[in-house]
Amino acid sequence: MVAAGPEALADSLIAGDRRALARAITLIESTKAEDRARAEALVERLAPRAGSALRIAISGAPGVGKSTFIEAFGLHAVSQGRRVAVLAVDPSSPRSGGALLGDKTRMVELARTEGAFIRPSPSRGTLGGVHRRTRESILACEAAGFDLILVETVGVGQSETEAAGMVDAFLLLLAPGAGDELQGLKRGIVELADVVAVNKDDGELAAAARRMQSEYRAALHLLRPMHAEWQVPVLRCSALERKGIDSVWSATLRHCAAMEASGAFAARRAGQSKDWLWSELREGLVERFLADSRLKSRLARAEAKVAEGAIAPTAAARDLLAGFGKIGRGS
């Protein structure tokens, strides 16, 4: 599917070729075994060029106006001289694994803007899916010269915690809706946020947005440690009317500046790299384990027995690991 060698691809990408960047991300996201080695060679060549961008996760439940916000936010950043790459995580069709057609019409104005790059990718679930590779896509965008990376997440499931582990700032988008509650949002997500913005502060919803803002201000004031270096701001904006976007942008920059001043920024980055290494190691070990078809069927039986309480998980794990050792040595 990707014809050029990883070195040539890397060089075109670094030279600023957008199609090379798009192809690089396709290679990075590929789940084919033969693509993985080439993707790793690519990332290895890109890594020394990466690391200087600001990485921001933008999270919010469906219906809060996330696409409209990202477009407005991205356009504002471009107007401030930033080069913006958006890694949009789109709901995938379970059948094809591909992005929905509708997504291609999102963020049209930003997509047309010089200095912006949008990459919609299907969200393939947690394990081994896009999120494991999103870190590599971030590096690719940075090597291509983008200095602001926006990582969109869908506000549900495990993805939020993973996204928070890849970025310098986590922006949570809310909107007044049917009720004043966070329908379907994952437990703990509000507490991940570095900046909270209540969107849809316009028209009939403006009063509800103001109410929501003050409620969340009170809630977050309670939830956050007293001596933290950063008090999470709860702002209002209207992505539709492009109102208040500048204050969300400057709050995000202030957060990053505060982190840098305290040394937390560099520490967070170093910790993230180490966590990434460990997650690759753990997943690699599990992959080796699962690569043996005999162990795979034994694992399924062990899982069922453990769930029904017929065997203790420790004993089941020990037996499975003993089998792994024998097979590993035997091969």
CB-nearer residue toward a second copy: 100 or 208: 208
Shortest distance, position 189 Cβ to a second copy, whole Å: 8
Residue 237 three-state SS: coil
Shortest distance, position 161 Cβ to a second copy, whole Å: 9
CB-nearer residue toward a second copy: 109 or 191: 191
Q: For binding to a second copy (CB under 8 A), which residues are involved?
A: 40, 43-44, 47-48, 51, 135-136, 139, 179-185, 187-188, 190-192, 215-216, 218-219, 221-227, 270, 273-274, 276-277, 280-282, 284-286, 288-289, 302-303, 306-309, 311-318, 320-321, 324-325, 328-329, 331
CB-nearer residue toward a second copy: 70 or 209: 209
Inter-residue contact 156 to 45 (CB < 8 Å): no
CB-nearer residue toward a second copy: 118 or 163: 163
Shortest distance, position 261 Cβ to a second copy, whole Å: 21
Shortest distance, position 301 Cβ to a second copy, whole Å: 12
Q: How many CB atoms lie within 10 A of CB 198?
A: 28
Shortest distance, position 298 Cβ to a second copy, whole Å: 12
CB-nearer residue toward a second copy: 98 or 128: 128
Q: CB pairs under 8 A, 24+ apart, for 38-46?
A: 38/2, 38/5, 38/6, 39/6, 39/136, 41/6, 41/7, 42/6, 42/9, 42/10, 42/140, 43/136, 43/139, 43/140, 45/6, 45/7, 45/10, 46/10, 46/13, 46/14, 46/139, 46/140, 46/142, 46/143
What is the longest distance spanned by two Cα atoms in the chain? 70
